[in-house]
Amino acid sequence: MGAARTSRGLHLDRRLKRPRLPADVVGNTLEEHKTMCSHTPSCPETTAADCCTAQVVADRSDQGWCQLCNGVIRFDDGHYLTPDGHDHVLSA
8-58 pLDDT tens trace: 444 555 555 555 555 555 455 445 444 568 888 899 999 899 999 999 999
- Select the more confidently predicted residue: 72 or 37: 72
pTM summary value? 0.62
Domains of the chain, residue spans: 27-89
CA dihedral over 86, 16, 70, 84, signed as positive or negative: positive
Residue 38's pLDDT is 84
Q: Tell me how far apart the alpha carbons of residues 13 and 17 are, in angstroms, rounded to a whole number.
A: 5
